[in-house]
Amino acid sequence: MNIDDMILVSVDDHVVEPPHLFDGRVPAKYQDKAPFLTTEDDGTMAWNYEGNKIKSVALNAVVGRPREELGYEPVSLEELRPGVYDIHSRVRDMDANGELGAICFPSFVRFSGQIFTTMGNDRDQARAMVQAYNDWHIDEWAGTYPGRIVPLAIPMLWDPEDCAAEIHRVASKGCHAMTFSASPFALGLPSIHTDHWDPVWQACVEESVVVAMHLGSSSVQPVTSPDAAVEVLHTLTPIGLYETAADVLWSPMFLKFPDLRVSLTEGGIGWIPYFLERCDYLYSYTSFWSGTDLGGRQPSDIFNEHVYLCFVMDHVGVDNLNRMNVDNVMWECDYPHSTTTWPEGPEVAMKHLGHLPDDVINKITWENAARAYSYDPFEHIPREEATVGALRRRAADWDISIKSTAHLRPGYTGPKERPAGQKLTIGGAMAGRT
C-alpha cells in the first residue's frame, strides 16, 4: 500500500477542555456550580469544582514541544498547541497528520468522568454536569466538523440506572462509545463481577455502544517503590490494562450480555498472545474446581470476540497478529500526549504495517474502528478526500514545527542544567493516566 493511500482513524486521542465548555449548557440553577477555569496567583491555571482545584489544566498535552521539555507539564493554555483545545486547529492538525478521524478521551474530568462521582454529593447537579459535558463533546467538539471526530461520552458512575439513561440519550445523538473505569472497584464502587452494572451493559447492547476502558481510568498507578526511576512507572503503565483484561474476561458480563463489546485503550497489543495462552492453560485445570463455566468455550475465544485493542508503536504485537483477532485490533495516534506519533503518524504506522496485505492494513487503520463505533467515515467526506495524501495536501500551509514553550512559564529565567543524579518528575504524565 502506498502511504498516501492509507486511511487513518485513531481510536485514542485526547482533548483538553476549553474554558467555555459549560457556558449555557447547564440549567440556570446549576450555572454557578459548574466547573470554571481560573488563573492562580503564581500564574498557573486551575479548574475549580465543588471547592476543589484541579491545577493540571493540560495533563501530558505536550505535542509539538521539544523532547527536552517533556516531563514538564503545561501550566496554562498558552503553552499548548491550539489543536489541543480548539476544534478548528485540531482538524488542521489532523489533516497535517493524514488522520481522517479520531476518538478523543477527556482530560480534567478524568478518563471516566470520575470527578462528578467523587466531588460533591448532589447527584442532580452531577447529572447536569455530565450531560453538559457530553452535549459539548457531541454537539461542538464532534459536531463542528462532521465525520472527523467519533463521539465519546462520559458516564454517570454513581448510579447504573442514571448511566443507562444517559447511554440511551447520547446514542440518540449519534454517540456509540462511552468511557468507563478500568476498575470501578478501585474508585470505591461495586466491581464488574457483581450484577450492579447490568443496566449499563444492557443499555450498551441495545444502543451498540462500546464500553471504553482507558489505561489509568481506575485512578490507581502501578508502584514498585517511591524512589524508583520515572521510567519504572512508564514501563508498568500497560500492566493496569492487563489487570482489566483479566477482570472483564473472568467476569460474567460477556456471558450475560453476548453482544457487549469493550475496548482496552492505550495498553498496546504485544502482551495479548501471552495473556491468552496463560488464560487458556489455567482454565484447563481451574475449571474442575473453581465453578467457572464458559459454556464450552475457551477464554481466548471470548476475549477475541468481545475486546477491542489498539497500539501506537508495537512491533512485537504486529508480528504476532496471527495469535489474536485482527478484526479487533486498531491504530492510535495518542495526540497530544508524549507518546504521540503526530505529525508522522502515517510514516510510523507504515513501518509497523507496511509488510502486511492491504486488506489487513485497512482493517487496523480504519475499518475495524468504523465497524466497532458505528462510524461511517465517508458519510460526510468522499473516500478520495479521506486519504493521508489528500488530507495532507489540504494542510500544506499548516505550521507543524516544534516550538519551545518554557519561556511562557511563570518565573522562567532560562534553561538550567539538571544536577547529576536528579530525576525529572512527571507529575502530569503520571496524573494524566488517572
Helix ranges restricted to H, 378-426: 388-394
The structural domains of the chain, ordered by start, are 3-399 (3.20.20.140)
Q: Which residues contact 169 (CB under 8 A, 6 or more apart)?
A: 131, 134
Residue-level pLDDT at 431: 32
Share of the chain above pLDDT 90, in %: 79
Q: Which residues contact 350 (CB under 8 A, 6 or more apart)?
A: 1, 3, 6
Residue-level pLDDT at 180: 97
Sorting pLDDT into bands at 50, 70 and 90, what band is 424? very low
- Mean pLDDT confidence for 406-413: 73
Residue-level pLDDT at 228: 86
Residue-level pLDDT at 77: 85
- Beta bridge partners of residue 39, listed in sequence order: 45
Sorting pLDDT into bands at 50, 70 and 90, what band is 414? low
Instruction: Of 183-187, 201-205, 237-241, 353-357, give the lowest mean pLDDT range.
Output: 237-241
Residue with cell 532560562: 414
Residue-level pLDDT at 27: 96
pLDDT higher at 171 or 231: 171
Sorting pLDDT into bands at 50, 70 and 90, what band is 427? very low
- Mean pLDDT confidence for 159-186: 97
Q: Which residues contact 155 (CB under 8 A, 6 or more apart)?
A: 112, 113, 130, 163, 166, 167, 178, 179, 180, 200
Please classify residue 249 by burial: count the beta carbons closer than 10 Å to its beta carbon, then call 0-12 exposed, 13-18 middle and 19+ buried: buried
Residue-level pLDDT at 42: 78
- Mean pLDDT confidence for 374-400: 97
Share of the chain above pLDDT 70, in %: 94
pLDDT higher at 427 or 173: 173
Q: What is the mean pLDDT of the chain?
A: 91
Interatomic CA distance for residues 208 and 249, integer angstroms: 19
Residue with cell 543524579: 421
Give yes or no for a contact between 47 and 108, defined as CB atoms under 8 angstroms apart. yes
Helix ranges restricted to H, 373-424: 388-394
pLDDT higher at 416 or 284: 284
C-alpha cell at 97: 497528520
C-alpha cell at 123: 447527584
Residue-level pLDDT at 419: 40
- Beta bridge partners of residue 178, listed in sequence order: 153, 211
Run of H or E residues at 91: helix 87-96
- Mean pLDDT confidence for 157-181: 98
Residue-level pLDDT at 434: 29
Sorting pLDDT into bands at 50, 70 and 90, what band is 227? confident
* In the predicted structure, residue 426 carries a pLDDT above the cut 80: no
* In the predicted structure, residue 139 carries a pLDDT above the cut 50: yes
How confident is the model over 276-305, as pLDDT tens digits? 999 999 999 999 999 999 999 999 999 999
Sorting pLDDT into bands at 50, 70 and 90, what band is 58? confident
Sorting pLDDT into bands at 50, 70 and 90, what band is 45? confident
Give yes or no for a contact between 270 and 244, defined as CB atoms under 8 angstroms apart. no
- Mean pLDDT confidence for 129-143: 98
- Beta bridge partners of residue 52, listed in sequence order: 49
Sorting pLDDT into bands at 50, 70 and 90, what band is 415? low
Residue-level pLDDT at 230: 81
Helix ranges restricted to H, 290-387: 299-306, 315-319, 345-353, 358-362, 368-372
Quick check: helix, strand or coil at residue 394? helix
How confident is the model over 93-119, as pLDDT tens digits? 999 999 999 999 999 999 899 999 999
Residue-level pLDDT at 68: 86
Sorting pLDDT into bands at 50, 70 and 90, what band is 412? low
Q: Which residues contact 313 (CB under 8 A, 6 or more apart)?
A: 339, 341, 348, 352
Interatomic CA distance for residues 292 and 71, integer angstroms: 45
